[in-house]
């Protein structure tokens, strides 16, 4: 079983300089690629000069995370794809336990390692932590991270368990399932496209897992800061896209209606905090969703009937009303 570690890059010379050495040192089981999304800096020249063992894939345009990876992976022949952010430091032997699971569990199609914070290494990192879930209304949360609350890692989530979604910061997936599930949806551009892909993987009857023995450290926000209104736009819009594509009938429209209400409440919260640019981002997200409704709805062709994967009805209720800030306290 062959493996490709693919790092998508856009004007990330400094990140490659800092983090590529750990990938090279500790990923001896894999071929390593830098897939460049039409950068305007000297990223490609820097990698060619300093890391000649790394293979370069040059995309013709910056199609974002989704299209960028689809374009880059289309020509690869390895059995396992590792989609790795350029701001991730990997650790010794990080791939071995992941590949062992793939070898022993043919129905496991995608995995993520335990993702800790590069800046605070004893805490989980926002983008994935120890594996992701969603509630009934499409709001994501993780083992080790709920909204802005990041738990300290003391080994409470070390076991390998089934999860709903694996983080795009370090997503390890079988090549055949990646393409069978339809790859990443380029209409998302960036953010939550990995959740959408994992949902489709579940619909095909495969499993997604978290591997606690594999550890990486993620900077997070290196491409788009967590408090950037553009990120708010992508998260709200893409969450609506994902629900429309994947929620089984006849529940989809009732759930979307409730999301309209909950997003309105989120908008009022931004007003109260004086974050008017984020309110505008939510309005833009909904406008884009309505404009593209027909296009996104046409992608519902493979949604199984009466199948639900929600682990919780409302993470908002549990977190803000019941005060349950840690994953272990959720029912």
86 CB neighbour count, 10 Å cutoff: 22
Predicted TM-score (pTM) of this structure: 0.94
Split at pLDDT 50, 70, 90, the class of 310 is: confident
**Shared-domain flag, residues 29 and 50:** yes
Half-sphere exposure of 126 (CA within 13 A, CB side): 12
Q: Are 204 and 214 in contact (CB under 8 A)?
A: no
Average pLDDT in the 198-218 region? Answer: 96
Tell me phi and psi for residue 228, to 5 degrees. Answer: -75, 130
Q: Is 116 helix (H, G, I), strand (E, B) or coil?
A: strand
Residue 224 within a domain: no
Tell me the torsion sign for CA atoms 129, 238, 82, 8.
Answer: negative
Number of domains in the chain: 2
CA dihedral 293, 195, 142, 24 (to 10 degrees): -140
What residues are paired with 189 via a beta bridge?
none
In this structure, the answer to whether residues 199 and 300 fall within a common structural domain is no
Check whether residue 7 and residue 79 sit in a common domain: yes
What pLDDT digit, counting tens, does each position of 27-54 carry? 999 999 999 999 999 999 999 999 999 9
Is residue 164, in this structure, part of any structural domain at all? yes
The answer on 248 and 214 residing in a single domain is: no
- 262-290 confidence digits (pLDDT tens): 999 999 999 999 999 999 999 999 999 99
The pLDDT assigned to 308 comes to: 64
CA 86 – CA 69 distance, rounded (Å): 13
Q: Which structural domain, as residue segments, surrounds residue 62?
A: 3-218
Q: What are phi and psi of 231, to 5 degrees?
A: -70, -40
Q: What is the CATH number of the domain that holds 190?
A: 3.90.550.10
Q: Tell me if 223 is assigned to some domain.
A: no
pLDDT band per the 50, 70, 90 thresholds, residue 301: confident
What are the tokens at 67?
């299209």
Query: What's the mean per-residue pLDDT of the chain?
Result: 94
Radius of gyration of the chain from its Cα atoms, rounded to whole angstroms: 19
Whether the ω angle into residue 250 lies within 30 degrees of 0, i.e. cis, is: yes
Average pLDDT over residues 50-63: 96
Looking at residue 27, what DSSP letter applies?
A: -
Q: pLDDT over 90 for what percent of the chain? A: 89
Residues 151, 287: one domain? Answer: no
């Amino acid at each position: 079983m062959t493996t490709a570690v693919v790092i998508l890059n856009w004007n990330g010379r400094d990140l490659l300089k800092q983090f590529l050495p750990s990938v090279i040192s500790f990923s001896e089981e894999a071929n390593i690629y830098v897939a460049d999304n039409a950068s305007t800096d000297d990223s490609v020249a820097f990698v060619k000069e300093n890391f000649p063992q790394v293979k370069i894939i040059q995309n013709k345009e910056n199609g974002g995370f989704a299209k960028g990876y689809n374009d880059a992976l289309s020509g690869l022949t390895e059995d396992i794809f590792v989609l790795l952010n350029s701001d991730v430091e990997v650790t010794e032997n990080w791939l071995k336990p992941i590949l062992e699971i793939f070898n022993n569990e043919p129905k496991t199609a995608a995995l993520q390692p335990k993702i800790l914070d590069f800046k605070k290494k004893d805490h989980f990192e926002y983008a994935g932590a120890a594996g992701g879930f969603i509630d009934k209304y499409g709001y994501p949360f993780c083992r080790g991270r709920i909204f802005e609350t990041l738990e300290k890692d003391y080994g409470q989530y070390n076991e390998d368990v089934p999860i709903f979604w694996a983080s795009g910061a370090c997503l390890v997936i079988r090549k055949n399932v990646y393409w069978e599930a339809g790859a990443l949806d380029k209409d998302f551009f960036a953010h939550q496209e990995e959740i959408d892909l994992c949902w489709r993987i579940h619909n095909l009857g495969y499993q997604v897992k978290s591997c606690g023995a594999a550890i990486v450290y993620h900077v997070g926000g290196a491409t788009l800061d967590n408090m950037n209104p553009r990120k708010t736009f992508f998260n709200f819009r893409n969450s609506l896209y994902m629900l429309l594509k994947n929620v089984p009938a006849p529940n989809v429209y009732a759930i979307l209606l409730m999301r309209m209400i909950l997003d309105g409440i989120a908008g009022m919260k931004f007003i109260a905090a004086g974050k008017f640019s984020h309110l505008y981002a939510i309005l833009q997200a909904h406008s884009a969703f309505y404009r593209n409704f027909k296009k996104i709805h046409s992608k519902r062709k493979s949604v199984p009937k009466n199948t639900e994967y929600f682990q919780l009805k409302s993470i908002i209720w549990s977190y803000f009303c019941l005060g349950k800030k840690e994953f272990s306290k959720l029912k």
